[in-house]
């Protein structure tokens, strides 16, 4: 089984200001582990650095500093040529992540061929049908084009494509945020079943606290690129300690208590929010964030 160990991950971007330039730190010394059979959720509002972390882990962005170590069963680091075979991403938008000019069979067959999982057209097609069956779609979907499928069906195809190379680590970047509310739970339950069957390590990125609690074992709350609270999912959601986590919780609708999800008053003044400290529910203590590296 494959594990991912992220240590002090930093990502900075160059921002133009008139004729000058400045450095913007989108991810600031973030560390976590992705282990087989466990789900880690990254929670935060837009711009908090969640998707940037996923893009770095999927090799779509290069980190400014920090270490990403991917290890196999024997504890040895996975070779660079095998990285994408082990780590795959499910993108947020199922309407944009599939090529409209190619069939569903092509989307799943491509990674099978690239990573040498099958040989010959007959074996490849049989594997395509098998992968479709695993995500709840039958053989008739193989010849269709993406525009003939619903949003939920497209996301199922995207999940099948991610697992086709034999991936053991799945990066799910808000995989249900663009789907109808009625089918979100079905897709999450599908991912949960596949995780149990293949003992997958999952990074689940979301701004939805309810699905984070339902689907994850551990939650990391990001604010301005830093982790401000972390711990078991129930502890973070039911007993939030950082003001930003409380703000997120108070913003979530609760039909039984309109406007209130957690006890106590939530912070509404963002000027009071501080990302220099993180509450760690595993240790039950506040931890000072490391000093920023000067740009």
In a domain, 294, yes or no: no
Of 63-77, 117-131, 266-280, the least confident: 266-280
In whole angstroms, give the CA distance from residue 117 to residue 130: 13
In whole angstroms, give the CA distance from residue 172 to residue 162: 10
In whole angstroms, give the CA distance from residue 110 to residue 107: 6
What pLDDT, in 10s, does the model give residues 170-204? 999 999 988 888 899 999 999 999 999 999 999 99
In whole angstroms, give the CA distance from residue 294 to residue 289: 15
Task: Collect all residues with Cβ–Cβ distance below 8 Å to 43 and sequence separation of at least 6.
Answer: 50, 206, 207, 209, 212, 219, 220, 221, 222, 248
- Between strands 65-71 and 3-17, the pairing is antiparallel
What pLDDT, in 10s, does the model give residues 80-104? 889 999 999 999 998 899 999 999 9
Domain containing 71 equals 3-288
Q: What are the beta bridge partners of residue 201? A: 169
Q: How many residues does the chain have?
A: 295
Structural domains counted in the chain: 1
Of 13-22, 163-172, 229-238, 283-292, the least confident: 283-292
Q: Which CATH number is 42's domain given?
A: 3.40.50.300
Helix (H, G, I), strand (E, B) or coil at 285: strand
- As a whole number, mean pLDDT of residues 225-250 equals 93
Whether the predicted pLDDT of 105 surpasses 90: yes
In a domain, 264, yes or no: yes
In a domain, 293, yes or no: no
Q: Which is higher by pLDDT, 230 or 262?
A: 230
In a domain, 295, yes or no: no
Is 230 within 8 Å of 63 (Cβ atoms)?
A: no
- How far does Cα 174 stand from its chain's mean position? 7
Is 141 within 8 Å of 153 (Cβ atoms)?
A: yes
Whether the predicted pLDDT of 259 surpasses 80: no
Residue 256's pLDDT band, with cuts at 50, 70 and 90, is low
Q: What is the pLDDT of residue 138?
A: 96
């Amino acid at each position: 089984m494959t594990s991912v160990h992220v240590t002090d991950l930093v990502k900075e971007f160059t921002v133009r200001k008139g004729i000058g330039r400045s450095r913007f730190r989108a991810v600031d010394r973030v560390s976590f582990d992705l282990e087989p059979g466990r789900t880690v959720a990254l929670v935060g509002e837009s711009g908090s650095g969640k998707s940037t972390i996923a893009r770095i882990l999927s090799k779509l962005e290069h980190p400014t500093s920090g270490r990403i170590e991917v290890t196999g069963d024997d504890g040895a680091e996975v070779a660079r040529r095998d990285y994408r075979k082990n780590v795959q991403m499910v993108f947020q938008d199922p309407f944009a992540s599939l090529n409209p000019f190619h069939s569903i069979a092509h989307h799943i067959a491509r990674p099978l061929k690239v990573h040498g999982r099958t040989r010959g057209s007959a074996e490849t097609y049989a594997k395509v049908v098998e992968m479709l069956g695993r995500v709840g779609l039958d053989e008739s979907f193989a010849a269709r084009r993406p525009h003939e499928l619903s949003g939920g069906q497209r996301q199922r195809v995207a999940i099948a494509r991610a697992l086709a190379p034999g991936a053991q680590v799945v990066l799910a970047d808000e995989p249900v945020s663009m789907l109808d509310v009625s089918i979100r739970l079905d897709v999450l339950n599908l991912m949960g079943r596949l995780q149990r069957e293949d003992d997958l390590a999952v990074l689940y990125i979301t701004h939805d606290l309810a699905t984070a609690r339902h689907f994850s074992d551990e939650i990391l709350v990001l604010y301005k690129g830093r982790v401000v609270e972390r711990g078991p999912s129930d502890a973070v959601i039911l007993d939030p300690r950082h003001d930003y986590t409380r703000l997120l919780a108070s913003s979530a609708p609760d039909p039984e208590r309109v406007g209130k999800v957690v006890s106590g008053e939530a912070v509404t003044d963002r000027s009071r929010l501080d990302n220099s400290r993180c509450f760690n529910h595993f240790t039950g203590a506040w931890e000072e964030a490391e000093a920023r590296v000067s740009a």
